[in-house]
């Protein structure tokens, strides 16, 4: 049996998949056990037997109930068992063109590699940690650690990060630091099982393939202005909008993933 340390687990998706397979979602199990104690009721060895049996059995039955909660980790194992029953889930810790061609959309696969957040997310997280440190030092030394211009810049980076879709955290998985065949994941912030600063290093991603980015194509890991560019505007409104180039992620924060690559929906991420 494989024991997993979960860093991320999308319980909503997990319940949806299990309910589609089983027709319902099990949340708890009630186990009942019965025990019978048998006792002999005798008349004594010196008594005179008139009729009937020397001894008689008296049965006492005890029933015990235990309510067991179905944990998310056990649901993951159940889903994996269901999928393996048809065909073993494919596991890849490296990638090449032959494997790339074999992987199809909608497949559920395990990828193992090194994961990181988008550049913008990593910078925003670093800014938050720096701000906490400076505030702590400022309370201790009574000296302003951050000047107004720096505060303004840090606030701007935070606001840029917040332009990303609510609760959506983009990240990227790479095989042995290869720039090709990278795996783009969009995580729901509410399903993290650890602090985001601990979400680093080599991990395994159980995921569903959403699409493949072909060679010559690319995808922006955090396209913060995509929503604005895709607004349904008429011609007059489009003329009043800023130039398209001004609605692009700044180059220093841009995170473009070139094909071949995968875009996946993670079910669980673990070590």
| pLDDT tens per residue, range 158-213 | 665 665 556 788 999 999 767 789 999 999 999 999 988 888 889 999 999 999 99
Task: Quote the pLDDT of residue 39.
Answer: 55
- Indicate the average pLDDT of the chain: 78
Q: Is the pLDDT of residue 229 over 60?
A: no
Task: Quote the pLDDT of residue 66.
Answer: 66
Task: Quote the pLDDT of residue 7.
Answer: 96
Mean pLDDT, to the nearest integer, of 128-133?
A: 70
- Record the pTM: 0.72
How do strand 218-220 and strand 201-213 relate by DSSP bridges?
unpaired
pLDDT per position as a tens digit, 143-157: 676 777 777 666 766
Task: Quote the pLDDT of residue 48.
Answer: 43
The two three-digit tokens of residue 11, written as one number = 């319980």
Buried-exposed string 110-127: b where 16+ CB fall within 10 A, e elsewhere? bbbbebbbbbbbebbeeb
- Which of the two residues, 100 and 42, has the higher pLDDT score? 100
- Which of the two residues, 58 and 269, has the higher pLDDT score? 269
Task: Output the CA–CA distances (angstroms, integers) from residue 113 to 61, 177, 215, 269, in the order listed.
Answer: 56, 9, 21, 11
pLDDT per position as a tens digit, 241-267: 556 555 566 677 678 899 999 999 999
Q: Please report where in the chains the tokens 């559920």 appear, as a residue.
A: 108
The two three-digit tokens of residue 128, written as one number = 């938050």
Region of poorest pLDDT, from 79-83, 88-92, 212-216, 223-227: 223-227
pLDDT per position as a tens digit, 30-66: 666 666 665 554 444 444 444 444 445 555 666 666 6
Share of the chain above pLDDT 70, in %: 62
Mean pLDDT, to the nearest integer, of 15-39?
A: 74
Q: Is the pLDDT of residue 110 over 80?
A: yes
Q: Is the pLDDT of residue 8 over 60?
A: yes
The domain segmentation of the chain, as residue ranges, is 72-270
If pLDDT is split at 50, 70 and 90, which confidence band does 221 have?
confident
Contact between 269 and 6 (Cβ < 8 Å):
yes
Task: Quote the pLDDT of residue 179.
Answer: 77
């Amino acid at each position: 049996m494989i024991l997993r340390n979960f860093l991320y687990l999308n319980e909503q998706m997990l319940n949806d998949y299990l309910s589609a397979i089983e027709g319902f979602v099990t949340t708890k199990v009630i186990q009942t056990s019965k025990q019978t104690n048998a006792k002999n009721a005798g008349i004594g060895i010196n008594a005179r037997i008139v009729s009937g049996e020397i001894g008689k059995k008296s049965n006492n039955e005890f029933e015990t109930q235990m309510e067991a909660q179905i944990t998310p980790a056990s649901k993951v194992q159940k889903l994996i068992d269901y999928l393996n029953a048809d065909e073993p889930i494919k596991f890849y810790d490296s990638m090449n063109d032959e494997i790339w061609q074999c992987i199809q959309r909608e497949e559920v696969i395990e990828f193992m590699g090194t994961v990181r957040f988008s550049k913008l997310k990593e910078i925003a997280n670093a800014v938050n940690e720096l701000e906490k440190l400076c505030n702590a030092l400022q309370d201790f030394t009574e000296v302003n650690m951050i000047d107004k211009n720096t505060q303004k810049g840090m606030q701007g980076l935070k606001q840029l990060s917040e332009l990303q879709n609510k609760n959506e955290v983009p990240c990227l998985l790479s095989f042995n630091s290869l720039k090709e065949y990278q795996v783009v994941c969009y995580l729901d912030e509410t399903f993290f099982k650890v602090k985001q600063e601990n979400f680093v290093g080599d991990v395994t991603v159980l995921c569903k393939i959403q699409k493949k980015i072909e060679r010559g194509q690319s995808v922006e890991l955090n396209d913060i202005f995509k929503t604005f560019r895709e607004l349904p505007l008429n011609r007059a409104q489009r003329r009043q909008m800023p130039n398209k180039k001004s609605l692009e992620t700044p180059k220093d924060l841009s995170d473009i993933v070139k094909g071949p690559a995968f875009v996946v929906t993670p079910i669980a991420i673990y070590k």
